[in-house]
Amino acid sequence: MTAWQLNSFGLENLKPAQITQAEHKSDEVLIKFEAASVNPRDYQIIEGLFTQNVNFPLTPLSDGAGVVVAAGDDVTGLEIGDTVTPLFFPNWKSGEALFDERKISSGLESEGVLRKSGVYNQNAVTKIPDYLTACEAACLPCAGLTAWTSLVPVGNIEPGNTVLVQGTGGVAIAALQLSKALGARVIIISSSDEKLARAKNMGADLCINYLRQPNWGSEAFEFTGGGVDAVIEIGGAGTMEQSLNAIRHGGHIAVIGYMAGIQLDVTVFPLIIKCANLHGIATGNRDNYEQMLTFMADHKVKPTISRLYSYDEAPIALGDIAKGGHFGKLVIDFAR
């Protein structure tokens, strides 16, 4: 079996490897992977920027999709031929993660998906609706679910609400698409007018270039006449002050990323005065993932893929996520 493996930190150390595939047990399935998508975390893990606590050799990438090609006798609810995605947190079924639910994550504590096949417990994978391709499904376990968790279980977004989405990457464009399908208005900010034009075509109601309009939070507040209901907070330290300007009384800020810095230095007054809610988001659990898949199937939401790469081009895809020119997701199509 072939895989991309990392034996020490650094993208230049990501190399093809031959691995012997383990036999599946009675409650396990064998998946033949067809696609994987790239997240900033994958690049950070490879470069040693996410954690130094990595067991080498590591097969990286958390998010992939493939077909069940063999199933043990005790497997129920999955059949040979089903397209599935491994969960980002295989042990986090529902509710809050109070104990060991998040100790294992795909592509870090457990082997990732940048390999031709893998054996998974039946509870660690989820069947994907038929209308999605494997490349589209591979966009969902991290970026898609993070957007859904922020909007629905945490943000309680309803038709007519307004969501402020930061950037045009994987999480942001998933949030734009899901928000529109939920019947919400979307304000989106980006450094690129070209990306904003694409977001407008996808239904964004107000587009702001955050480089030209550094006070985008106040503009969003005025546009809504009282503040946005939720913020998809991708920037982190560098955007929080404007997010607090944008949010309405009692609104929800889903703290997801740190693209604009990790160390917060903002006044807490707007948070107190507006009785706003700051929520840390850690992707999400299996129940929420399944809710999202049902919702997506009902509304025929298809993830936005910026560029497809072949399996051999995996290192290029990982380099490109760090460069940041993409709109939506970067996906490795194993069939190319």
Ligand X SMILES: NC(=O)c1ccc[n+]([C@@H]2O[C@H](COP(=O)([O-])OP(=O)(O)OC[C@H]3O[C@@H](n4cnc5c(N)ncnc54)[C@H](OP(=O)(O)O)[C@@H]3O)[C@@H](O)[C@H]2O)c1
Say whether residue 39 binds ligand X (CB under 6 A).
yes
Q: How many residues does this entry show for the chain?
A: 336
User: How is 279-290 classified by DSSP, letter by letter?
Assistant: EE-----HHHHH
Distance CA 208, CA 35 (A): 33
Of 71 and 321, nearer to ligand X (C-beta) is 321
Is 237 a residue that touches ligand X (CB under 6 A)? no
- Determine, following the binding rule CB under 6 A, whether residue 170 of this chain makes contact with ligand X: yes
Which residues is 85 bridged to in the sheet? 126
Assess 7 for contact with ligand X (CB under 6 A). no
For ligand X, the closer CB: 184 or 256: 256
- Choose which of 126, 166, 177, 285 interacts with ligand X (CB under 6 A): 166
Choosing from 6, 29, 234, 240, the residue that interacts with ligand X (CB under 6 A) is 234
Tokens encoding 272: 């107190």
Nearer to ligand X, 122 or 285 (CB): 285
CB of 51 to ligand X, least distance (A): 13
Question: What residues numbered 183-212 form the site for ligand X, per CB under 6 A?
Answer: 189-192, 195, 210
Q: Does 83 bind ligand X (CB under 6 A)?
A: no
State in angstroms the smallest separation of the CB of 190 from ligand X.
Answer: 3
- Answer for which of 75, 281, 314, 332 binds ligand X (CB under 6 A) is 281
CA-wise closest residue to 28 among 63, 68, 72, 94: 72
Nearer to ligand X, 24 or 180 (CB): 180
Under the criterion CB under 6 A, does residue 230 sit at the interface with ligand X? no
Residues 116-145 that bind ligand X (CB under 6 A): 142-143
Q: Is residue 251 a contact point for ligand X (CB under 6 A)?
A: no
Q: Pairing state of beta strands 162-166 and 185-190? A: parallel
Cα–Cα distances in angstroms (integers) from residue 252 to residues 34, 203, 217, 265, 304, in the given order: 37, 22, 14, 19, 25
Give the nearer residue to ligand X in terms of CB position, either 27 or 205. Answer: 205
Beta-bridge mates of residue 3: 17, 115
Strand stretches in the chain, DSSP E: 2-6, 14-18, 28-37, 63-71, 83-86, 117-121, 125-127, 162-166, 185-190, 206-209, 228-233, 247-255, 277-280, 305-310, 329-333
> Quick check: helix, strand or coil at residue 110?
strand
303 binds ligand X (CB under 6 A): no
179 lines the binding site for ligand X (CB under 6 A): no
Binding residues for ligand X, rule: CB under 6 A, are 39-41, 142-143, 146, 166-172, 189-192, 195, 210, 234-235, 238-239, 256-260, 281-283, 321, 324
